[in-house]
Structure 1
Amino acid sequence: MKKTSRRFIHELAQAHRFGVLVLFCLICMTSPIQAETKSAPKNVILLIGDGMGLGAIEIARQLEYGKTGILHLEKLEHVALMRTYSANNYVTDSAAGGSAIATGIKTNNEMIGVNAKGEEVDSILDAFQANGKKVGIISTNMVVDATPAAFGASVSNRWTGGAHIARQLFDNQIDVILGGGASYFEADKQNGEDLIAKFKKAGYAFTTTKEELSSMNKKEKLLGLFHPTYMNFKLDKEVLHSQEPSLPEMTAKAIDILSQGDKGFFLMSEGARIDSMEHAADITGIWKEMIEFDQTVKEVVKWAKNRNDTLIVVLADHETMGISASETMDIAALKKIRVSSEYMSKQLTFDKNNEINPKSVVTVFKKYAHISLTDHEVQQFIDNVRKNRTLVYPKHRIEWEIGSTIANYHKAGVADRSIRAASSTGGHTANMIPVFAAGPGSEAFEGVIDNTDISKIITKASGVPFTPGQHKKEE
């Protein structure tokens, strides 16, 4: 064959391969498979670990699995870091932090679901509900507490608005409400009206125990109130013979009910008692509350697996007490503790002047924390309780001092008691917190973001109309 003929054949083959490549690219560009990768999530599950910073995550990992272990939340595909400051403070409280996540705007500490001027604004839950989706809120504190309230209500002050929040949860027709705070729904706090009765009349199933909750099948609306105030700590459920459901159980039941709708749902589920344990510097309690929260992540991911229609976002509203997994922390000793610092505080006795009985301090620390305090240490404990009158939650100062004493004894990383006592938030910090995400739309959670970005990212991914700072009554 002549040289020119061989060149001609080679060029023809090259042209053929190029044509095939062009055709393949054109097919890919118009393929419906490509369009599906950008599909909007039908459902959104937002899991909030109140106060959950990197330190709490690391303590849970170390105590539960050891240095090579992995938590379920760490397995989510996308990770970002989030700033949490409020409108009037570089350290947020749960009211302003939860509101920023829920509404997409900054507000002042102690304000819920309103802007810094006190004007009511819509939340992401309102937006999803207006879009025809079912909605739900869950908390292991009270459902009228700051974080859940930020999604379902609006009040100018978290400390005086509990009963009003309960009323708004009813008025706003939230499909599933599960947690503590039953006392705020009762007649003595509702101007003589039984709000629970109104829920029942409106078609809600009502439950107060773990067993009742598990038996609720094919219900469209559900109210579950499992404690007059805050639900019990994970550490104390056995000793208290608690009949309360766990966070994974409440979340699973909520998903079961909300997923019955054709248009999808929005669910906010809060592991709220992580923060309570952090305020108390209760390292063992942080571990247990964190693991329950992480098990909730596991169950949610398991439910969403292979559905390709559910966006999962895991985050916190702020960090508390600068918790860290210090090198000196005595993990073995901390794991031997079986009850919370709150439970220990209730075992102390007092004299006729309402002063703590020193002998009871010795007994409680020895029995529950396995620590033998000296006479000097006992007196120091009592003096600290007297001196460190906190700016918020004063009724918790004894259990907080118990937690700090144990943390100090076992050399765990936590902010000093004096910082907590002087803090308007009870020991919150400005530390950035991690955001973990998986499912359609999760790729947008990357880099350093602000807490006001959360609702914007979620609604944009879901194709749900939402304008931060707007109120539906103004439309």
Structure 2
Amino acid sequence: MKISFVFLTALFALSAFALQKPERHFGCPLGKNVCIYPIDDTNLQCETIFDFQVALHIPENQTIQTQFRHLMDIKLSLPSGDVLTPESLFGKEPHLRNWTLEAFEDQADQTPEGFKSYAFMYRNVVIDKKYGKGPVRVTVLARGVTTEVSYVLREPTKRRARNVVLFVGDGMALPMMAAARLVSRGMYHGKYNDKLNMEKFPYHALQNPAGVDSIITDSANSATSFNTGQKSSVNALGVYADSGDDVFAHPKQETIAEHIKRKFGMSVGVVTTAEIQDATPAAVWSHVRRRAEKAAITSQAINGCQDCVLAVQPDVIMGGGGKYFKPKDSIDGSDMYFNYSAKGYTVTHTRAEMVAAANDDSTKKLLTVSHHGNMEVWLDRNVYTDNMNDTSNSPTVDGPAPTDQPNLDEMVMSAIKILSKNEKGFYLMVEAASIDKSAHPLDVPRTLSDLIELDNTVGKVQTWAKENGDDTLILATADHGHGFDVFGTVDTKIWDDAVVASEEQPVSDVDNYCSAVTDNAGTVFNISTETTTGMPLRASNRARRTAIGTYSNAGYPDYMDSDGDGFPDTWDVRTTLAAGMNNFPDHTEDYKVSLSIKRPGVRTSRGYFSNPEDDPNGIFLSGNIGPAGSTGVHTMQDVGLFAYGPGAEKVGGNVDNTEVFHIMSSALGFGTDGEIDTDDHLFSDVIKCKRDDESCHCGEEGKGYVCACARNGPTVFVMPTTMLCTVKGGYVTPM
């Protein structure tokens, strides 16, 4: 039976519009009749928990016995040489599941067939480290068809980091970082005046975001990879997506937070500028097929999930998302703020309350929810502050407007005050969510300001780490990118002079498709036809575009940072960036800062069209995504990964997003008792020596130096205080 099981239902459809093609089945080997989870080519960190499941799919018109375990011969070949059944290996009997689905034979098939799925699952299992490290082969013989998948068991590592801080710049593409560097640090004679804090970290890599089901990831499955070391599918959090319709029953993957709570007694913190139930923060603790189950995600943080070993109960949770705490929208109609308080959390809703709680020695756990939904972006929290004055955004529903929302650095440093009380260490996940939430609606100033806010926070945490033992691994990366880049500059005075208009009396470029328009100075912009092609010429569009400079006409933008806080003194400058995304709906663009966050598309019965209230004095750009798209979308580009601290030397080259988890797990000593290693290679005074004819040259004997030489990738055992050296006359001289 040659079946690839492509789903009829589009699980990621965010609107009523159908996808052009159905989704593939997730992770099932092509041409086979069973699906095995974990999927093929998975790396399992030593002693982590997972759900092992095998699902058999048969045509709907066929039947099998209710007890079907005997129909499948399953063997696991282990690194030790043992070949065991799952019952022998895991010491338990399976939990049986069954469901029906409609699927296609392949992508070309137009007629779906009905199938029955019979699955058996071994919940919360682990492969004991006594079976060794290396390859594991799973073989399943079912109804005459053999299916094989392979895993790799990672070797236990000595613990080197007491703490781990993972910064996720949601949607932070590398070109965004370059643009933020320009507007934040400035440039002189073609050289940047300084780097971003992340870029000063000693170890860099390119990180590849993608998921099981698509080349384009969303935040749910990419954040799942960071937190579990395993791949997942769009919209899935902490689970492999099978074809079942129970969103809480899919095979789970243990998160790093669950493991360090269970094994090491460490603390866990989650800080985001989005709703705390949003995909990236939720990936720290939740297990659910659909990230939209936000009421359940709110509950899972303190109560655990269906069949979870334990509830993570992060010691610190900060962000927005108050909607799902109140009885109207909570999972069971209860007041979740009360439930969190009953679990020992101090609950706060403003910056002032948060700071006071963090400074109070009696605070053991802290929940700060300062907005009904996603928090305002940095530009609206700090510049256009009237945008916060909306009582409907109260985190308590019936409270005052959230005008005292904390900034990201304030949340993070408050979180660290509480988390660092635990001598066993902590894991803190920090998300700068509104890089992405501003990039989607094509709002460049808000995108860049939130990236700068993230980078400033990274710098403050690095300073804290240096002052507190320098035993914290800090990673900064993105869950995915956006198709952003800068292609020049825009002189907004030329733009405004070319077509005289105002917010009160806009002159719309869209109108010029079919008729002439007159600007506020009385200049008439006629409709005309290009003689060669016969295409209509939009005169106002072409007049405004004379303000866009490229190459030598671009020059430099006018951003200045006179107070040295990393942010431009004003975002409303004359010469700004000609920048944007490579994918978008129909919209207009004026390249200026908007008084409130942009909304490029408005919905109609025929899809999304240009919002007449968004940049009404901009040029019209015809959309290049599907008509169901209201904003820009993610892209498949590699993103940056930046590392500092013990364990950072494993970052280098080009890595998969699952490696972020394994880098953190290695630094924390998964598979050990969690005691921090104090071997000599942890010297803070380390020399990284250059290669000379394939030989490594170290410092003078007796100096206590450790020499680390490049070996086709990242160096080994090099701490952030690394000094460079050079070879002169056969001797090593520190530079």
Q: TM-score range by the shorter chain?
A: 0.7 to 0.9
CA spacing shift, 1:398–1:373, aligned 2, 3 Å: closer
Q: State how 1:71-82 maps to structure 2 within 5 Å.
A: 71-82=196-207
Q: Which amino acid aligns with 1:205?
A: T
155, 161, 169: which one pairs with 1:41? 161
> Structure 2 residue aligned with 1:330, among 479, 487, 490?
490
1:3 paired residue number: none
Alignment match, 1:53: 173
1:376 alignment partner AA: D
* Structure 1 residues 211-222: aligned runs within 5 Å: 211-216=352-357, 217-218=360-361, 219-222=363-366
Cα distance in 1 for partners of 2:513, 2:386 equals 26
Partner residue, 2:372: 228
Superposition RMSD in Å: 3.1
Q: How many Å separate the matches in 2 of 1:199 and 1:178? A: 13
1:132 aligns with 2:265: yes
Give me the whole-angstrom Cα distance separating, in 2, the residues matched to 1:378 and 1:225.
Answer: 47
The answer to whether 1:451 aligns with 2:686 is no
The answer on 1:429 being equivalent to 2:632 is: no
Change (3 A) 1:103 1:293: same
| Sequence identity (%) | 32
What SS does structure 1 have at the residue aligned with 2:177?
A: helix
What SS is found at the alignment partner of 2:211? coil
Aligned counterpart, 1:9: none
Is residue 122 of structure 1 aligned with residue 122 of structure 2? Answer: no
Query: How far did residue 385 of structure 1 move?
Result: 3.9
Distance in 2 separating the partners of 1:214 and 1:105: 36
CA distance in 1, matches of 2:451, 2:606: 25
Write out per-residue CA displacement over residues 131-158 of structure 1, whole angstroms, 9 at most, x where no aligned residue. 2100011110100000111111111111
Task: Return the TM-score normalized by structure 2.
Answer: 0.49
How far apart in 2 are the matches of 1:252 and 1:270? Answer: 14
1:312 alignment partner, one of 448, 459, 474: 474
Among 408, 416, 424, which residue is 1:247 paired with? 408
Distance in structure 1 (CA, Å) of the matches to 2:372 and 2:170? 20
2:593 maps to none
The equivalences for 1:78-227 within 5 A come to: 78-117=203-242, 118-130=250-262, 131-159=264-292, 161-171=293-303, 172=311, 173-190=313-330, 191-216=332-357, 217-218=360-361, 219-227=363-371
Query: For residues 421 and 452 of structure 1, what CA distance do their matches in structure 2 show?
Result: 33
CA–CA separation in structure 2 for the residues paired with 1:92 and 1:200: 36
Cα distance change on mapping 1:232 and 1:364 into 2, 3 Å:
farther
Q: Kindly tell me: are residues 91 and 462 of structure 1, through their superposed partners in 2, closer, same or farther at Cα, counting changes over 3 Å?
A: same
Q: CA deviation at 1:374?
A: 4.7
Partner of 1:355: none
Report if the CA contact (8 A) 1:421-1:427 is conserved: no
Aligned partners of 2:441 and 2:632 also within 8 Å: no
Deviation sequence 1:103-143 (CA, Å, 0-9, x none): 11111101111113231211111112122100011110100
Q: 1:154 to 1:404 in 2, by over 3 A?
A: farther
Is the 2:647–2:667 Cα contact (8 Å) retained in structure 1? Answer: yes
Query: Is residue 2:511 matched to residue 1:376?
Result: yes
Deviations 1:20-76 (A, max 9, x none): xxxxxxxxxxxxxxxxxx860000000100000101111111112223131111111
Contact 1:125–1:135 (Cα < 8 Å) also in 2: yes
Distance 1:42 1:441 in 2: 11
Which secondary structure state, in structure 2, belongs to the residue aligned with residue 255 of structure 1? helix
Letter in 2 for 1:257: I
1:378 is displaced (CA, Å) by 10
Contact 2:647/2:664 (8 A) holds in 1: yes
AA aligned opposite 1:84: P
The answer to whether the Cα contact below 8 Å between 1:389 and 1:397 also exists between their aligned partners in 2 is: no
User: Are residues 404 and 163 of structure 1, via their aligned partners in 2, closer, same or farther at CA, if it must alter by over 3 Å?
Assistant: farther
Classify the secondary structure of the residue corresponding to 1:239.
helix
Q: Is the 8 A contact 1:381 1:405 kept in 2?
A: no
Determine whether 1:402 maps to 2:614: yes
- For 1:280-299, list aligned pairs within 5 A: 280-299=441-460
Determine the C-alpha separation between the residues in 2 that align with 1:57 and 1:97.
Answer: 20
Structure 2: stretches of 5+ with no match in the other structure? 1-157, 243-249, 304-310, 389-402, 494-500, 515-585, 589-599, 673-735
What is the Cα deviation at residue 239 of structure 1? 2.6
Q: Deviations over 1:150-184 (max 9, x none)?
A: 1111111112x100000001222111000000111
Which residue of 2 is the match for residue 31 of structure 1?
Answer: none
Return the index of the structure with the highest Cα Rg: 2
Q: Shift of the alpha carbon at 1:457?
A: 1.3
CA shift for structure 1 position 222: 0.4
C-alpha contact 1:420 1:427 (8 A) present in aligned 2: no
Aligned partner of 1:297: which letter?
V
For 2:647, the equivalent position in structure 1 comes to 441
State the secondary structure of the residue aligned to 2:328.
Answer: helix
Match of 1:338 in 2: none
CA contact (8 A) 1:388 1:397 kept: no
Task: Looking at secondary structure, tell me which structure has more helix per residue.
Answer: 1
1 or 2, which has the higher strand percentage?
2
Q: Matched residues in 1 for 2:341 and 2:230: separation?
A: 34
Q: Give the match for residue 70 of structure 1.
A: 195
Say if 2:257 and 2:284, in contact at 8 Å, map to a contact too: yes
**Cα pair 2:202 2:643 within 8 Å, conserved:** yes
